[in-house]
Structure 1
Amino acid sequence: MNNRRDFIKKATLATTGVVLGTSAMSAKSYANILGANDRVILGSIGVGGRGKGLLDSFSSMYNDGVTVKTICDVESKYLAERQDIAAKNQKGLKPGTETDMRKVFDDKEIDAVVIATPNHWHALSAIWACQAGKNVYVEKPSSHNVWEGRKMVEAARKYDRIVQVGFQNRSISNVMQAMAFLHDGGIGDVFMARGTCFKPRNSFGIVKDSNPPASLNYDMWLGPATYRPYNEKKGHYNWHWHWDTGNGDTGNQGPHQFDVARWGLNKKVHPVKVQSMGGIFGIKPDECSQETPNTQTSVFEYEDGKILEFETRGRFTNAESNEGIKIGNMFYGTEGWMEVNGGTWKAYRNDEKEAFAGSGMATGAAVGGDTSFRTAPDSNGHFGNFIDALKAGNNSGLNCEVEVGHMSTVLPLIANAAYRVGETLRFNGEFEEFINNEEADMMLTRKYRYPYIVPQNV
């Protein structure tokens, strides 16, 4: 890995109020105001909802040697306010702006990009970044379909890039402790994991197609997706609930809990069978354009018979488990069970009512003698983990390297395929394809719209 050589020339900018970015100054003039200290230079791509939070977090690491040089979004109305957010964190240093991510990739001064685009752009933007020599932090799910997710992994390997996927639970110390506890036999042999995503969402309505706003580059927003006329109810955030751009809540909030479930089961292989059923309830079809289910139950079986369950409820509902979990995980073992609710966890022996281990309770013996974890108990630790890997110049310390993120992302993607074809599907994990089901196999990839095409050979 040769990443570290790229950092020797980076340093704190001495002048406040300077505007950075590919649209602000040439690479030569930018280099002239750098010193010789290590400084990680970032581009932030997609600065809407989630992207705004990522921009705030990464630019807040300015005193730790991180500078956001450029922000990029196809929706130009965001850019001025997002510049101000970064400037506030960067001692007045304002990033430059772009509306085409390819210009960010062309900037030789940028070491890594942070990607928080809609799901259908995750894979292609990450692949383009790797091809341009950039390291990548990409939000979950790592891809919109299984095939392009594998291409992301191939690109990271081919171009020797550091790629972290935004499964933040991987960097929460209490969750890390809970997983170590499970893997050390804390509740015996774990035979089943259950994840929940209970997020009530009301109808967002329906409107006629219209012209896109002047501030939006709609062609680039669509990117790899099949062309459709602009519709404001299918755009910002609502893209989650349409198959061409999103994956429903099973593939929105769900991937976080899918990841914890797979992690707890200690599975580094794909399941061999999946079934999924559900629908849209409590919302009238003629009053909302939503396509993805708001209620969905998915069940996976591994080759050894172990089970992973996942439930999505988009209507008002009770919580589950002793902790009142709505978004979290439960694990069931031969000697007890465990609940994980955010960064809190508790374990119970068989039918005992009082927890015998948990966050704030676990001893060294309960977690295999190892209570030293690398990161702080909050999601910012995940961002710091990525920056630490960049500075070290290798991915060995990443908490969610791209292959790990891909394995967890596959789960909601194949669940959605089973839901859409209405059949129990068998999955060949070695080749990442379904067995004897051509209709489901077609959902493992998509027909890409020129020129936004994920290549066969990355």
Structure 2
Amino acid sequence: MEDRRNFIKKTTLGATGVALGATAFSAKSYGNILGANDRVVLGSIGIRGRGKGLMDAFSKMYSNGVEIKTLCDVDSSLFGERLKIAANNQKGRKPGTETDMRKVFDDKDIDAVIIATPNHWHALSTIWACQAGKDVYVEKPSSHNVWEGRKMIEAARKYNRIVQVGFQNRSISNVMQAMDFLHNGGIGEVYMAKGTCYKPRDSFGISPDTAPPAHLDYDKWLGPAAYRAYNEKRGHYNWHWHWNTGNGDTGNQGPHQFDVARWGLNKNEHPIKVQSMGGIFGIDPRECSQETPNTQTSAFEYADGKILEFETRGRYTPGENSLQSKIGNTFFGTEGYLELNGSTWKAFKKRDKEPFAGSGMAEGAAVGGDTSFRKAPDSKGHFGNFIDGVRSGSRFDLNCDVEEGHMSTVLPLIANIAYRLGETLKFNGEFEQFIDNEAADLMLTRKYRYPYVVPENV
């Protein structure tokens, strides 16, 4: 990417210099030349559901020097509509299409890729992209299991690639403000954080195995996962609720709030203990192929005794706290508590019933003139932040580098292991292994299906 961009800049500068002469360049005109040739060319891999949203958002950045050159999906029936959306956003510039992501990685014109595949593909596609010299925006959770997530970090570092994980809260101004408030003692010492994922979901039914549809390359869709015959109830979107390809809602919507909870606790380390319990309630297992729990309570303990709680509720439920948060967080401190729902937050002192700080309040307007309450920072959003990182070439410009994303992804992954084993587990964060539990350690990785193998040495 850097070589191609530098070559373009040098050759453009040289050609223009011949025509205008060296004295023709002012600082402003030189900057304009560099800006014109700093276009970031993308491949969009996985364009259904969330992938459609990402493709739409990034292609709308066309006027800001971003172009989607290729749409890639193993389901060719998706191309027609997606191509129209991209072309409309890119002033008529229509992307090409591929059904094999490896051809996208082989394209020397592509600087970076957007990965919105099912979870079981996140790690291998990211590693392949890094090996091909591409920067990566990968959706959450960053990986399907803990071991392969560490391999993603190793690949990003080895090949000096920019890898951003799709924890969008990291780039929402009000959330950034709330985290700054917590970290600066706004409610005293934060000793406990709770995340909630309350999404009522109905049964999606059951069906017999069949041959895959002609427009779906099922072998490539299955990729690294263990072979299972095609079944429409285990395919598009429903893959979330089967262990072979997904991680349930605790590992689907949940990672966003796991990330915010860990962020608010200011923990850049793994917990030392995890327990999780739950089940499938309100859905007859004889009438639905779902394997992952729709109701799950998980708890984590850190070395200093601080606690992270998480609740997944897939049936009918009220919201949490005064904001009625369903997808949100609550933080508990020695001097009060903070509620967060989307980009709205309120902080309360001790037993007070009215907030003394929160989103929408002017800086310095906090009750009592609280000095930990600062203005929400400006943000270009998570996608803009990624593009800035690609242009700078520095992972330190990212709001959610792959290692940050991995730290948060590990939480739902090990919670699911504790749930499936029915045990309280002790975790050695330094080595990312469980203590004295071979069965749990075996679930930190998986057996990969050839040739879609996540390598030991990336």
SS at match of 2:209: coil
SS at match of 2:286: helix
Residues 6 and 111, structure 1, Cα contact 8 Å, conserved in 2: no
Any unmatched runs of 5+ in structure 1?
12-34
2:408 maps to what in 1?
408
Residues 193 and 331, structure 1, Cα contact 8 Å, conserved in 2: yes
Q: Shift of residue 7 of structure 1?
A: 8.2
2:176 maps to what in 1?
176
Q: Name the CA shift for 1:399/1:3 in 2 (closer, same or farther; >3 Å).
A: farther
2:393 maps to what in 1?
393
1:441 maps to what in 2?
441
Please give the residue correspondences for 1:308-323 in structure 2 after superposition, counting only pairs within 5 Å: 308-323=308-323
Residues 43 and 72, structure 1, Cα contact 8 Å, conserved in 2: yes
String of CA shifts for 1:174-203, please: whole Å, max 9, x gaps: 000000000000000000000000000000
1:70 maps to what in 2?
70
String of CA shifts for 1:36-82, please: whole Å, max 9, x gaps: 62100000000000000000000000000000000000000001211
- In structure 1, distance between residues paired with 2:226 and 2:238: 16
- In structure 2, distance between residues paired with 1:291 and 1:383: 33
1:21 maps to what in 2?
none
- In structure 2, distance between residues paired with 1:176 and 1:434: 33
Residues 120 and 246, structure 1, Cα contact 8 Å, conserved in 2: yes
String of CA shifts for 1:327-378, please: whole Å, max 9, x gaps: 10000000000000000000000110000000012525756475362405xx
- In structure 2, distance between residues paired with 1:330 and 1:288: 33
Q: Name the CA shift for 1:294/1:337 in 2 (closer, same or farther; >3 Å).
A: same
Residues 242 and 290, structure 1, Cα contact 8 Å, conserved in 2: yes
Q: Name the CA shift for 1:254/1:3 in 2 (closer, same or farther; >3 Å).
A: farther
SS at match of 1:169: helix
Residues 281 and 295, structure 1, Cα contact 8 Å, conserved in 2: yes
Q: Shift of residue 304 of structure 1?
A: 0.1
String of CA shifts for 1:137-157, please: whole Å, max 9, x gaps: 000000000000000000000
Q: Name the CA shift for 1:94/1:273 in 2 (closer, same or farther; >3 Å).
A: same
- In structure 2, distance between residues paired with 1:84 and 1:455: 37
- In structure 2, distance between residues paired with 1:10 and 1:151: 36
2:160 maps to what in 1?
160
String of CA shifts for 1:408-443, please: whole Å, max 9, x gaps: 000000000000000000000000000011111111
Residues 417 and 440, structure 1, Cα contact 8 Å, conserved in 2: yes
2:326 maps to what in 1?
326
- In structure 2, distance between residues paired with 1:49 and 1:130: 24
SS at match of 2:450: coil
Q: Check if 1:373 corresponds to 2:377.
A: yes
1:340 maps to what in 2?
340
String of CA shifts for 1:4-23, please: whole Å, max 9, x gaps: 94584599xxxxxxxxxxxx
1:429 maps to what in 2?
429
Paired amino acid for 1:275: Q
Paired amino acid for 1:371: K
Residues 10 and 36, structure 1, Cα contact 8 Å, conserved in 2: no
- In structure 2, distance between residues paired with 1:65 and 1:366: 42
- In structure 1, distance between residues paired with 2:222 and 2:449: 9
1:107 maps to what in 2?
107
* Higher Cα Rg, which structure: 2
- In structure 1, distance between residues paired with 2:358 and 2:36: 46
1:233 maps to what in 2?
233
Q: Name the CA shift for 1:326/1:244 in 2 (closer, same or farther; >3 Å).
A: same
String of CA shifts for 1:94-141, please: whole Å, max 9, x gaps: 000000000000000000000000000000000000000000000000
Please give the residue correspondences for 1:136-215 in structure 2 after superposition, counting only pairs within 5 Å: 136-215=136-215
Q: Name the CA shift for 1:4/1:105 in 2 (closer, same or farther; >3 Å).
A: closer
SS at match of 2:443: helix
Q: Shift of residue 396 of structure 1?
A: 1.5
- In structure 2, distance between residues paired with 1:10 and 1:319: 57
- In structure 2, distance between residues paired with 1:132 and 1:7: 18
Q: Name the CA shift for 1:367/1:438 in 2 (closer, same or farther; >3 Å).
A: farther
2:290 maps to what in 1?
290
SS at match of 2:55: helix
SS at match of 1:453: coil
2:270 maps to what in 1?
270
Which segment is superposed worse, 104-113 or 362-371? Answer: 362-371
Count of aligned positions: 432
String of CA shifts for 1:156-182, please: whole Å, max 9, x gaps: 000000000000000000000000000
- In structure 2, distance between residues paired with 1:366 and 1:184: 11
Q: Name the CA shift for 1:7/1:341 in 2 (closer, same or farther; >3 Å).
A: farther
Residues 83 and 94, structure 1, Cα contact 8 Å, conserved in 2: yes
String of CA shifts for 1:15-38, please: whole Å, max 9, x gaps: xxxxxxxxxxxxxxxxxxxx9621
- In structure 2, distance between residues paired with 1:367 and 1:262: 23
Residues 7 and 40, structure 1, Cα contact 8 Å, conserved in 2: no
1:24 maps to what in 2?
none
String of CA shifts for 1:273-310, please: whole Å, max 9, x gaps: 00000000000010000000000000000000000000
Paired amino acid for 2:228: R
Q: TM-score, normalised by structure 1?
A: 0.92
Residues 172 and 379, structure 2, Cα contact 8 Å, conserved in 1: yes
Percent identity (aligned): 75
Residues 177 and 376, structure 2, Cα contact 8 Å, conserved in 1: no
Residues 87 and 94, structure 1, Cα contact 8 Å, conserved in 2: yes
Paired amino acid for 1:183: H
Q: TM-score, normalised by structure 2?
A: 0.92
Residues 4 and 392, structure 1, Cα contact 8 Å, conserved in 2: no
Paired amino acid for 1:153: I
Q: Name the CA shift for 1:362/1:40 in 2 (closer, same or farther; >3 Å).
A: same
Residues 39 and 66, structure 1, Cα contact 8 Å, conserved in 2: yes
Paired amino acid for 1:184: N
Residues 357 and 373, structure 2, Cα contact 8 Å, conserved in 1: no
SS at match of 2:128: helix
- In structure 2, distance between residues paired with 1:401 and 1:112: 15
Please give the residue correspondences for 1:112-127 in structure 2 after superposition, counting only pairs within 5 Å: 112-127=112-127
- In structure 1, distance between residues paired with 2:254 and 2:57: 23
